[in-house]
Amino acid sequence: SQSQLGDCYALGIGVSRNYQHAVKWYKKAAQQNAVSAQYNLGVMYEKARGLPADINKAIYWWQKAAELGHPAAQHNLGVVYIEGTKVAYNKKRALHWFTLAAQQGEIRSQYRLGQLYENDMHNKQNYQAAYKWYTLAVKNGLAEADIALNNLKKHMSAEQIKSAERSVSQWQQAGHTLR
């Protein structure tokens, strides 16, 4: 497909790496709603690969891919909104996109949600949500989430931990994605 041809040029698989050619093929595929091409085109705009950097165009393409369920695009949108350096800070939008990505097993979003619930909301009730997301990130293999989880436990009662563990168990039983 056109998107795969873009990947070949972007990564130098079977051809010489050529970001301009990759962009050409990603654009063709993205305009036909190829989700991975939309995501990759956003990355090309973000990193100025094969064209000038343009965060607004990167966000445009990530938004399209995110709306079609692409977890890495959802994660990237969460990052730009929570960091607030390239667009206006918007915690509500960041939480929305991180949550959608995390529910699909995107471990970076699971970790970021853990951080947000632990640190940014300053509400002990959210320690249980932080525990849930850190635990899922740990189960998916993210080492830094294990450190964060162990630090978080120091601030939680045994009852809170037990409740949070039930939440993790229920989440998994509901068939949510683990990588």
pLDDT in tens, the chain (179 residues): 899 999 999 999 999 999 999 999 999 999 999 999 999 999 999 999 999 999 999 999 999 999 999 999 999 999 999 999 888 999 999 999 999 999 999 999 999 999 999 986 555 568 999 999 999 999 999 999 999 999 999 999 999 999 999 999 988 888 776 55
Q: Are 43 and 54 in contact (CB under 8 A)?
A: no
Output the pLDDT for position 121: 58
For position 172, what pLDDT does the model report? Answer: 82
Query: What pLDDT was estimated at residue 101?
Result: 97
Burial of 139 (0-12, 13-18, 19+ CB in 10 A): middle
Rounded-to-integer distance, Cα 14 and Cα 7, Å: 10
User: Rounded CA gap, 86 and 25, in Å?
Assistant: 26
Contact indicator for 88, 77 with CB cutoff of 8 Å: no
Distance of alpha carbon 109 from alpha carbon 113, whole angstroms: 6
Amino acid 173: pLDDT: 86
Helix axes 107-115, 71-83, angle to 10 degrees: 30
